[in-house]
Structure 1
C-alpha cells in the first residue's frame, strides 16, 4: 500500500524515534511510505549518526561521548526553533495558521501520488489533514500522543477552541491509535463515541538486543567492570524526577558500597546534579556521561544490571522503559497506569507508589544485593518486549484499523 505519514513535530527527540520506528516497520512489510514533515525537519535522518561516523573516521575516539538531538538537522530546523519561541497565544495562532500550509502540501502530495491511507501524528489545532482526507475519500488514522485535555509543559491558552477542534478531528478519523489506555478512556469520557481504536504503547527496534552487545567489554570501556550498576536514561528535567532521586539517594549510597549509578542524559537539571555530586566527592559512584546519540543508547544500557524510572505522568508511554526492558534490564518504576500496563510488578519489573521517591530509592538499594532477582525479572522483561513490543507489533495494530478490503 501507499502510505502518507504526516506530522507537525520537529522529530528531534523521542517523537523522532517513534516516527522512524513506525515508518521502518511499515516499509519492512513492503508498504511504500512517504513522510511529510514540518519544513526543515527530517526525523528519518537520525540525530548523531553522521557526527558519529565522522568522528570515528577521523579520531577513532570514544563514540559514547557524542552529541544527541541537539545536532539534528545541522541548523536546518531554524523555522521550527523560531516558531517554538513565540509567546503563548501567538504560538497557538501560528499552529492554527499551519493548517494553510498543510492544505497546500497535502493537496500536492495527493495530486502527485494518491495514498491508500494517511497516518498522522496528531497535533493540537491541526484539522486540515482530516478535512482533506474525508473530502477525497482517503482513510486516515490518527496517532494520539497529546491532547487538549491533559496538563502540558507549554500552557494552553485557547483551550476551549483546541478542545472543539480536537473533538471534531477525533470523531471523524477512520481509526485512532492511543499510546495508553489512560488516553483512550480520557478522550472517550470527554468526547463520547469515537472511531475504532487500539492501545499501542511505544516499542523498540532491533538495535535493542543484548545478544549483539559485548556487555563485559563495554563495562570495561566505561570503567564499570566488577560493579553493580543501576542506570537511568532520559532527560534531566523537573517532571522526570532525576534530581529528586539524586537528592534522596546521595546520603544513602554508603549503605551499598558496590553500587554505582549510571545516569545517561542531559537537561536543565543536569548542571545542578553534577555540582552536587562533585561537592560530595561522588563522581565515581554517580556517573553522568551526559547526552549520547540514540543509536549509542543500547551500548550504555548494556552496562546496566537494572534501572530506575523516578517519575512519569498519567498518560505517557516512556520510550526509555521499552528500550531498557528490551535489553534485559528490568526497571524500578512508578505505578502510573501506562507504566503498569507494561510492567507486571515483580514479574517484568518493580513498581513503587508514584511520587514516593523514598520507596523508589529503597527498592533500588535493596536490589543491589539481589543478583538472582535482577536476572530473573530482566529476562522476563526482555521476553515480554520480544512477544509484544517491537515496532512490527505497532504496525500490525494500526493496519488492523483500515477498512476492508484495502490494496496490498
Structure 2
C-alpha cells in the first residue's frame, strides 16, 4: 500500500519539535507500522529525520521564503501546481493531507486519480490566521479550503469544534479523530519525588494560559504547598512575559523554563512532574486537541485541565484527571493543593489516565481508523 502524505504548511518543519511537527511524525510512524510505503511531500523537510523515519521517500516542494504575508501567501498558492504535478505521476493508493492555508491540490489530485483522499484538519486556519497573525488573500484562502473539503473522501477533524467549522465550509463527510500517543514512548516510570512539581509542556502561545498556572503556583507557595515548583517545557513568544510575571509574583526562583526540547526528551521531563497542567482561557470557540494532555496521561501523571471545549470528553473529572473552570487561578490552585496533599489519589488518577489512553488513544489506532475511512483496511500488511 502506497500513501502520499502531503503537508504544504510553511509553518510546520516536518522534523521539528513543535506540536504540529510531532503530529506529522507520529502519523508517518503509524502508517509505516501498518506496512505502508510512505512518500512525504512538503516544502519544509529540513534537518535530520529521526532514525525510524529516515527511510521515508521525500519530495521537496519549493520552500516558502520568509517575507511579507502576501508574498508568502502567493508562494503557498503556487505550491498547488507542484503538488498536482507530483501526485499526477504517483501510484499512490491513498493521499493523506494535513490541511494548510491556500492548499487544495492534494485532495483534488486524489479525486482525479480515483483514489481516496483523507484531509486532516487541526484548526479553523483562516480564523486563526486572522486573529493571531496576518490574513491576506482571504477569498483565495476560503476558495482553497472549500475546494479541498469538497474533494476529500473524508475529513478527520481533531475536535468537535473543528468538525463544525469544516461543515460551515461545505464538508459533507466529517469524522472527529482526536490526537493520540505512542505507547512505546511512555514506559511506566516511578512517581516523581522531591518537592511538589506542576508541569506544562507545549508552546508558549497566548491561547495556552500558562500565566494562570503561574498565578496558581504563587497561591500554593503562599499557603498550602510552600515548596511547590513549576517546570515549563517549551518555548514561544510568551516566554518573556511569563518570566516577568513569575518575577512580579515572587516565584521566579520556583519556575524552571527549560525551553524547546526534542520530542524524545519529553518523557524524561514528565518524570519530574507530579501533575501536568493544561490551562486555557474561557472561549466559546475552543477547538484544540492538546497533544500535551494525552502525553501527560500516557506518562501516568495526574492531570488538571480547564473545563473548556471537548476536554471533558478527554478527561473524566475525578476519574482520569481533574477539571477546573478556565482562567481561574484560585480553582486551579485548590485542585493542585488537594493533589499535593493526597499522593494516593494523585497516583490513582494518573494510573487511570494512562490505562485510558493506552487502550483507546494511540497513533496506531488513528492510522488504522484512517485506513478504514479510506476503504483500505484490507491493504494492511499482515
User: TM-score, structure 1 length as denominator?
Assistant: 0.80
CA distance in 2, matches of 1:404, 1:369: 50
Matched, 1:91 2:72: yes
Gaps of at least 5 residues in structure 1 are 51-75, 220-224
Deviation at 1:45, TM superposition (A): 1.2
Deviations 1:15-66 (A, max 9, x none): 221111111112112121121221x42488149x99xxxxxxxxxxxxxxxx
Identify the residue that residue 120 of structure 2 maps to in structure 1: 143
Q: Give yes or no for the alignment of 1:194 onto 2:198.
A: no
- Counterpart position of 2:57: none
Q: Any conservation in 1 of the 2:212–2:327 contact (CA below 8 Å)? A: no
The equivalent of 1:171 in structure 2 is: 150
Q: Conserved in 1, the CA contact under 8 Å of 2:126 and 2:141? A: no
Alignment pair present for 1:106 and 2:87: yes
Pick from 226, 229, 233: which aligns with 2:201?
Answer: 233
Residues in 1 aligned to 2:311 and 2:47: alpha-carbon distance in whole angstroms: 26
The 2-side partners of 1:259 and 1:102 are apart by: 51
For residues 294 and 275 of structure 1, what CA distance do their matches in structure 2 show? 27
Q: How many residues align?
A: 363
Cα separation, 1, equivalents of 2:215 and 2:270: 23
Equivalent residue number for residue 163 of structure 2: 184
Cα separation, partners in 2 of 1:137 and 1:303, compared to 1, 3 Å: same
List runs of 5+ in structure 2 lacking aligned partners: 55-59
Deviation per residue, 1:95-130 (Å, 9 max, x gap): 21221222233334x1xxx01111111112111122
1:378 aligns with 2:340: no
Aligned residues of 2:62 and 2:79 also touching (Cα < 8 A)? no
Instruction: Give me the whole-angstrom Cα distance separating, in 1, the residues matched to 2:378 and 2:100.
Output: 26
Give the aligned partner of residue 69 of structure 1.
none
1:30 and 2:7 are equivalent in the alignment? no
* Structure 1 residue 284 displacement after superposition: 4.7
Residue of structure 2 aligned with 1:351, choices 314, 323, 326: 323
Superposition RMSD in Å: 2.9
Question: Does 270-279 or 241-250 show the bigger shift?
Answer: 270-279
Look up the match of 2:135. 156
Contact 2:213-2:277 within 8 A present in 1 as well: no
Residues 1:44 and 1:147: Cα distance change in structure 2 (over 3 Å): farther
Distance change in 2, residues 1:246/1:405 (3 Å): closer
Change (3 A) 1:369 1:32: same
Q: How does 1:62-77 map to 2 (within 5 A)?
A: none
TM-fit CA distance, 1:383: 0.6
* Alignment deviations for residues 175-225 of structure 1 (CA, whole Å, 9 cap, x no partner): 11111122112322x134613x321111111344242x4x47xx6xxxxx4
Contact 1:209 1:326 in 2 (8 A): yes
